[in-house]
């Protein structure tokens, strides 16, 4: 089982993949968005298909007070478009996926700050941040979801 983390952006969409055991997230590159994350849908679907992704975790950019602004609403529309596009491709036999992966949104407030901090700790110079910060943000988003999943499992197993 593999999960995909997605950090939506208008310039780039950052991607991260999990290991098959769903323990850790690692960077999986960026997709060019050319000014609108909707332009990246087909490239993201290609990754979902090629990596046999079963769950997609998309960052939900809430405002600092926890409310949804324009960016959060756009992320919700992007998720609906992703699900609809995959459904259509499956129905038309254009992709090998058997079903639409589960898609969830996760609060991504401060993930970019966290990603920059991690890159600094890894001694990645400031000017080299821009090309990798989106995928590092996707790593933070996905790792948060993986950690939450593990905590939920531990709680239910009485650990």
Kindly report the pTM of this predicted structure. 0.86
Q: What is the mean pLDDT of residues 132-155?
A: 85
Q: What is the mean pLDDT of residues 140-152?
A: 89
Euclidean distance between the first and final Cα of the chain, in Å? Answer: 24
Residue 11 has pLDDT above 60, yes or no: yes
Q: So what's the pLDDT on residue 150?
A: 82
CA gap 127, 120 in Å, rounded: 11
Would you put residue 7 in left (φ > 0), alpha (ψ -120 to 50) or beta?
beta
The pLDDT tens digits of the residues spanning 95-142 come to 999 999 999 999 886 565 565 565 566 665 566 656 677 888 899 999
Q: So what's the pLDDT on residue 127?
A: 60
The pLDDT tens digits of the residues spanning 61-92 come to 988 888 999 999 999 999 999 999 999 999 99
Bigger pLDDT: 4 vs 10: 4
Q: So what's the pLDDT on residue 63?
A: 83
* Domain 2-156: CATH superfamily, name plus number: YqgF/RNase H-like domain (3.30.420.140)
Q: So what's the pLDDT on residue 137?
A: 87
Q: So what's the pLDDT on residue 116?
A: 55
In this prediction, residue 22 has a pLDDT band, given cuts at 50, 70 and 90, of very high
In this prediction, residue 153 has a pLDDT band, given cuts at 50, 70 and 90, of confident
Q: SS3 for the chain, per residue?
A: CEEEEEECCCCEEEEEEECCCCCCEEEEEEEECCCCHHHHHHHHHHHHHHCCEEEEEEEECCCCCCCCCHHHHHHHHHHHHHHHHHHHHHHCCCCCCCCCCEEEEEECCCHHHHHHHHHHHCCCCHHHHHHHHHHHHHHHHHHHHHHHHHHHHHHHCCC
Q: So what's the pLDDT on residue 75?
A: 96
């Amino acid at each position: 089982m593999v999960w995909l983390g997605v950090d939506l952006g208008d310039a780039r969409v950052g991607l991260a993949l999990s290991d098959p055991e769903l323990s850790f997230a690692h960077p999986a590159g960026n997709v060019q968005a050319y000014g609108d994350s909707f332009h990246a849908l087909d490239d993201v679907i290609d990754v979902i298909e090629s990596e046999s992704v079963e769950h997609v975790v998309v960052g939900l950019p809430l405002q600092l007070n926890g409310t949804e602004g324009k960016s959060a609403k756009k992320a919700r529309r992007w998720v609906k478009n992703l699900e609809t596009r995959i459904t259509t491709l499956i129905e038309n036999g254009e992709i090998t996926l058997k079903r639409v992966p589960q898609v969830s949104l996760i609060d991504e407030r401060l993930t970019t700050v966290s990603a920059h901090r991690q890159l600094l700790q890894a001694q990645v110079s400031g000017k080299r941040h821009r090309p990798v910060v989106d995928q590092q943000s996707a790593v933070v988003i996905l790792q948060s979801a993986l950690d939450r999943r593990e905590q939920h499992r531990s709680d239910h197993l009485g650990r």
